[in-house]
Chains A and B, each alone.
Chain A
Amino acid sequence: MNHIKNASDAASRVNMLTRVIGRLKPVILGTAGTMFLASCATNAPQDTWQPKGPNAQKIDSLQKPVFAVAGIIGLIVAAAVTYSIIKFRDRGQPIPKQSHGNPALEITLTIIPALILAVVGVFTFRTVFDLNKTSDTQMIINVTGQQWWWEYDYPANNEYGITQPIITSGQLVIPVGTKVMLRETSRDVIHSYWIPALNGKRDAVPGRITINRIEADEPGIYAGQCTEFCGLSHANMRMEAVALSKEDFAKWVANQLKPYAAPAEGTLAKEGETVFLNQCTRCHQVNGLTRADGTPVIAAPDENVWSGAVPNLSHLMSRNTFAGAMFDLLTPECRNDVWKSDSASFGAKYLAGVSEPCLNQTDLRGWLRNAPAKKPMYANPAQLAATGGKYRGMPNLGLSESDIEKLVAYLLTLK
């Protein structure tokens, strides 16, 4: 995991610094006025004050007034203290009367905040129960956290054309305007599922099923991040929720259910399939993949990985991210194109998946070359005594450059 410091690294640091300083400019120039303007500008993708669905909206309309009240009370206290400091400083006045207080005033000043809090309490109570309502759920997705990625599986649901279970990871795809229930759990430690624009967080606790609900108003990508500390790569356990219009969602489902298409004989991708069969299927499942003799390949992650599962790579290129959404499968330009598109054109752009010119070759190849160098994981045999030699994360497979070339070509066919 040690990063070799070379010239380009240093250069990128300098670069980073200039960019950060560049960002300071609006601040240095800015005044209070910019604060108001800025609230409309592009905030961080995980801004908790920009709800994009009814659940998050309910939280937002509850918390904004609370913030306002808290702010006002804070100002009153600050003003009272400031006034006292100025007014009652020692100007040689006589020692004041030794009064021990004023019970009536005390009681009043106790009751007022109590009343304010009682009002807040009533609204809180209502919202808590409102957010926990599950009877009108329209769609169920099982969400499973694991160090350090999320797995999503869609149980069969004829209403949405899901004739057999779909399993995916990295990006959670949901139809807009649909009340989706997430049944969360974890395979190892506690994680927490959080897409701020859609709802508050809910822990994924191993051995328990916790329920969370999300619903998106508009098509788009909503960023999120694991928020319960889950070990080494906690910082790299991200998620993205993709909302598609109902029609686009149906197309997405149809694509996920599409049977496996083996690459044509003689192509680089076909050679990549062989490499994949030899190297990757020990853990990674691709549904429908068969060996040369026609037997279906069932991966055995439980024999190699401590938590017993790894991402299922069927239709990998229909997703935009890999390695627990830490890296994009798209180049920065193509990614921007998808993220910044308006809600009308978003669906088509997302469903186009990852094509060769848009593929983020750097990170994908780097990952195949030496995954633990790109993301801290327990893949060094010396660290695996506690797990009986089983990995926690993807090890360095020691692939040759030509193998990587072939694998990339093969992975590109997994649309």
Chain B
Amino acid sequence: MAKRLLTYENAVRWAPLLVLLALMLLFTAINPAFLTERNLARIAIAAAPALMVAVGVTFIIIMGSIDLSMEGSISLTAVLFCFAFVQFGGTLAAGAWLAVPLILLAGAGIGLVNGLVHVRLRIPSFMASLAIGFVCTGAAILVTGGDIVKIDDDVFRALLTWRILGFPLMVYVAALGVVVAWVILSHTRFGRHLYAVGGGEELAHASGVNVGRVRLVGFVLAGLFYAVAAILQVAKLGQAESVTGANFMFLSITSTVVGGVALWGGIGGAWNTLVGVLIVFVINNGMVVIGLPDYVQNGMLGVLVIIAVILSTDRRSISFVK
């Protein structure tokens, strides 16, 4: 069975990566400073927390649902993380590392509540997660009273400041997160069940897949990744407040779709999300680096996103989208 490389399927599958490379070439051609190790590291730092959010929401999108709770969820876990960190001694050298598992647990807990409201109350995920997002943001405001919570621990901040091969530690943490997500999605029962639910929920149910539980665990996992994102965001900025999670919602969902994860479920994976996030952040970085006027940037991002999505959609396999 001779495999042809230049098939339509292959073109579609590799389109996001090609778009990414094309954009990088374009920006480099205009300003060679774009393709320097320093700048790539800058893009990586900016993208790392967003990547974790996007990976989290990828689980949800693959099963055909949507999650809009990330902004609230990140704000709340980031704020709680800072509180816990300070509470446990304020430095990793003391007991503050305890804050990490605690906050991962909190993130998973928020995801669980989200999932329960969605699955048990039978409220579509769009609405359930939107409302839970409001509640979480509200809770973050409540616990901070609107103040900024700072972390001043050089050991913890090594995530940002300690570089290996030119890239800070947090980039490797995010990369590890992607690998974990890839393993879960591609090589575990639960991961494959997510695809099954996304491909045909009723059919999966009839095959004995406990759809409710898969959904629930999906939301828990997403919450977990949001918590990782929150920790990275705190590592990046050294502080948390009730708006720490702002702007992540549209950013993360756009990124996953640009990378080739289908919003209707069942298609795509962790690598798609990685490429998608990189595309969006390369565009954001590149537009400033090549000196595009600020008022053009939003429009340009929109145009490029549409082009990327058009190129990476297998239009033969779908009859319509909504």
Decide whether A and B assemble into one complex: no
Which A residues fall within an 8 A CB radius of B?
A: none
Show the binding face of B for A, using Cβ within 8 Å: none
